[in-house]
Amino acid sequence: NAGVTQTPKFQVLKTGQSMTLQCAQDMNHEYMSWYRQDPGMGLRLIHYSVGAGITDQGEVPNGYNVSRSTTEDFPLRLLSAAPSQTSVYFCASSYRVKGELFFGEGSRLTVL
């Protein structure tokens, strides 16, 4: 099993550009989520999904979209990047909604 795979690991964008961070897991996990991690702050939930076709907002959803068309994939879309979205992004999954979390390696995004 590859676990949770995030791509790309690094990305530089200009303000206003759009992009998609990919997240895939091969563990048949029900729950998937996206977090951002900023200096001096704890991890903050952006969006989450409790199964294919079901998504919901977390603490900081503005400027991000998600979809969950399959159990395996949970992409995070930045519609129009802003410097405030410069951060490290982590995708995580768990077998059941309230289970142990498995994290991807993170994606460092810089918006100029």
Partner 1 sequence: KNEVEQSPQNLTAQEGEFITINCSYSVGISALHWLQQHPGGGIVSLFMLSSGKKKHGRLIATINIQEKHSSLHITASHPRDSAVYICAVDRGGSNYKLTFGKGTLLTVNP
Applying CB under 8 A, which residues contact partner 1?
Answer: 31, 40-45, 48, 50, 56, 58-59, 90, 92, 97-106
Q: Which is nearer to partner 1, 2 or 14 (CB)?
A: 2
Q: Which is nearer to partner 1, 57 or 84 (CB)?
A: 57
Considering the complex, what minimum distance in angstroms separates the CB of residue 15 from partner 1? 26
Tell me the HSE value of 101 on the side-chain side, using a 13 A CA sphere: 11
Considering the complex, what minimum distance in angstroms separates the CB of residue 107 from partner 1? 11
CA distances from 7 to 21, 23, 40, 74, 94 (A): 6, 7, 25, 12, 19
Pick the closest to residue 87 from 38, 50, 29, 41 (CA basis): 38
Instruction: Write the DSSP string, 81-106.
Output: --GGG-EEEEEEEESSTTS--EE---
Considering the complex, what minimum distance in angstroms separates the CB of residue 64 from partner 1? 15
Q: Which is nearer to partner 1, 17 or 37 (CB)?
A: 37
Considering the complex, what minimum distance in angstroms separates the CB of residue 11 from partner 1? 16
